[in-house]
Structure 1
Amino acid sequence: MAIHTTIPLNLIGKLLLTLNSFELKSKLEKCIQIVDEKHPEIPEIYTYYLVVAEDHRSNIHYGIDQIGIIRAIFKKFTSTEIQGASTIEQQFVRVVTGDYSYSFQRKFKEQLLAILLATKRNKVYIAKAYLAIAYYGHNCEGIEGISKLIGRDLQFASENQIISIMARLKYPKPSENNNIDIWSKKITRRISYIKNRSQKETNKTRQYIISTSPLETLENPKIDTTS
């Protein structure tokens, strides 16, 4: 599904890139440059929790989440709940371009850039670069912001610390004395959501391993007697 539904936008993106419409060429080059410069700053383990929190269908799409888009449109017309559908690639593009306007044209350009970027750099590098430049709250941005929260050596962060960072992507901390109580409640719920989703992903992986392993191997594992 992801391949076939992304192909039209990919072709449109390549055509507009050739024509340099919307200044796509310079924006794509900037995105690629930042991915290359910033991805080494973030340990790879962080990307697991980022995908769990922000883009759990990341492994089946190529820059835009068609299922998420359809679900968001459905929610818009059937309830008061606002549901996002932006992928990690789209969020990265938005931060790099600095374009947060509410318009169809902005969303369209963002999707084109996300798809084009996904053909140039792998998802892990894009995810790591995004975390290295993302906004986590008042006076708390990018790698410096993460360092303020958990220290300079990101490798030694606990699971709880990493999850708390991912929660701030949806709910950045506001300035002091500005709705801190409301923010605290939201961030607590978000942390709980990410932990639960992470546990579900772990359980699914465990069930897959069990289901694909021969039953006799699980019941009667072979013992090496040669040593």
Structure 2
Amino acid sequence: MAKRTILRFVYFLLSWPMIMVALFCYLLNLGNVRLYYRQCINVIHENHTAYPQKLIQCLYFGEDKRGHSHLGVDYIGVFRAILSIARGEIQGASTIEQQFVRTVIGRYERTLKRKLLEQLLSHLICFSFTKHEVAESYLSIAFFGTHMKGVTSLYERLAPESYDLNFYAGVVARLKYPQPKKESQIWSIKHSKRTEWISRQYNSANKAFKSDSQHSALSV
């Protein structure tokens, strides 16, 4: 708990300059920030659907592990991504808010201008809605594969016999590896490994949480 509190404070210090810029751009509608922001809030109002907590947790473990600490932009992740690029590697640092914004406004060009716009909007959204609302809205519109836009369409196509951890982890794995129209062995292997990794993250975190809870109970 203390670690998360400190992390949140660090993120606040790192974020407040961009938050001020975001508010300034919104007031003057620079770069159509106000227009894009309204698009985002409309999508949240129209697509905010309740999903199982286990699916939401898998989403954070798979796509945004520090999601409950930052304010829309993971600047620690951004710094690490910059270092990885300098080493000739590719590492993403987009948060759930950023992925949501990107999906709504349909801007995918690889430019600094687009990335900055995405970050500004993510900060604004983070102050307007809860993390849970944004996560659920993102799941409702995200691309999971051919003919699978949004969790509902994925459910309809896959028609799973059971909704367990492995299934939910597999859903989130499709965000990184969208399911093609015709499954290939290469895709199946990548998807399977990603699913297993998310499941391990989930189990490890919950095991640690239970251990901390038991320790706290014994200390009382």
**TM-score normalised by structure 2 residue count:** 0.90
Q: Report the aligned-residue RMSD.
A: 1.9
Give the C-alpha shift of residue 110 in structure 1. 0.1
- Aligned residue type for 1:163: A
Aligned to 2:78: 69
Q: Which runs of 5+ in 2 are unaligned?
A: 1-9
Q: Note the alpha carbon deviations across 1:127-167, whole angstroms, 9 max, x for none.
A: 000000000011211144222245499xx622221111000
- Which stretch shifts more, 156-165 or 87-96? 156-165
Of 55, 60, 75, the residue aligned with 1:46 is: 55
Give the C-alpha shift of residue 3 in structure 1. 0.9
Q: Which has the larger radius of gyration?
A: 1
Counterpart mapping for 1:20-99 below 5 A: 20-78=29-87, 80-99=88-107
Give the C-alpha shift of residue 81 in structure 1. 3.0
Aligned to 1:163: 169
Instruction: Name the CA distance, whole Å, in 2 between partners of 1:88 and 1:203.
Output: 24
Q: Size of the alignment, in residue pairs? A: 211
Aligned to 2:198: 194
Of 159, 182, 187, the residue aligned with 1:183 is: 187
Counterpart mapping for 1:101-112 below 5 A: 101-112=109-120
Give the C-alpha shift of residue 42 in structure 1. 3.0
Q: Which runs of 5+ in 1 are unaligned?
A: 218-227
Task: Please state if 1:128 is matched with 2:136.
Answer: yes
Q: Contact between 2:144 and 2:178, CA under 8 Å: does it hold in 1?
A: yes
Percent identity (aligned) = 31
Structure 1 runs, 4 residues or longer, greater than 6 Å off: none
Q: Note the alpha carbon deviations across 1:5-39, whole angstroms, 9 max, x for none.
A: 11110000000000101111111111111112212
Q: Contact between 2:54 and 2:165, CA under 8 Å: does it hold in 1?
A: no
Instruction: Name the CA distance, whole Å, in 1 between partners of 2:159 and 2:188.
Output: 21
Q: Contact between 2:165 and 2:199, CA under 8 Å: does it hold in 1?
A: no
Secondary structure of the residue that 2:26 maps to in structure 1?
A: helix
Give the C-alpha shift of residue 41 in structure 1. 4.8
Secondary structure of the residue that 1:172 maps to in structure 2?
A: coil
Instruction: Name the CA distance, whole Å, in 2 between partners of 1:8 and 1:42.
Output: 34
**TM-score normalised by structure 1 residue count:** 0.87
